[in-house]
Structure 1
Amino acid sequence: MTKISFRRGWAAVAFASLLAVGCSNSDGRVPVNKTTGTLVWAGHKVLGLMVVLHPTDPAAPKLPTLLTGAVRADGGFSITCYDVSDGAPAGEYIATIREAPMPDGAAKVALPPAKYLDPKSSPLRVRIEKKPVNELLPLTISE
């Protein structure tokens, strides 16, 4: 191999490496899929509650924050990972319910039965798929 072709070969490898780095997700974010749903709790107000998703797969990528969705008065919520309402990575999750952060002076909200507060006992399960929008089946709290 001549010096010129050897240099061209290295130049091609270096160029391909730069392209690969330039086209990768340099911020390290796991891809997310828009995820919305509804929380139903008959006879109770749901405003002030928050849905939290916990991955069931121990090998799921570690995220910098919890996957959460503040519940609106109509029961609707949108899951947030990195940016408001951006969604969640594809996978299987256990949903729990927590009290959402509320402004000072806001009325306290009733929490559901204890089994809905802990991922070890919550019966609420969801699947997020790799698609533009995931509309979850209603998450229903029963006594």
Structure 2
Amino acid sequence: MHDFIDTRSWPIVYLHMPKQVADTDADDRLAEIRALYARAEPFALLMDGEELPRHSPRFVSTYVQWSRENTAQLHHCVGAIRIEADTALRQAHEAKARAWNGSGHAPYPFLVAAALDDAQTRARALLAAPDPCAPTVAASRDARRSP
């Protein structure tokens, strides 16, 4: 995974967060994120690299603002899986994942995997799972019966 966002294995998407996003590149990176979510289709996000780029104030502030303003679009992601081979770093990410998933505000589940193949297996499982937000046939029938 070397591209910032790689959609060649859609609906499994790879995101490699660089150590730094220069201010001159911030708009292009944000455009890639916007385009990903604008597809309005379910996808699983596999991530490696930095959690957030350091010394990248323009990218980070714009990304955080966009995320807050577009929470509905974030639900197109069925789950994000951080790939981390280092045991200590993986444990730190797992603690963050527990907090994220337990917050009640997470737009999608956050998982952690030690290797790419495990992350891909988990991504396929997330994509195959029924959408908990999708209306069921019974719910649709009940809605038609309501006054």
Shorter chain as denominator, the TM-score bin is under 0.3
Q: State the TM-score, normalized to the length of structure 2.
A: 0.22
Larger relative contact order (Cα-Cα within 8 Å, sequence gap ≥ 6): 1
Q: State the TM-score, normalized to the length of structure 1.
A: 0.23
More helix by share: 2
More strand by share: 1
Which structure has the greater CA radius of gyration?
A: 1
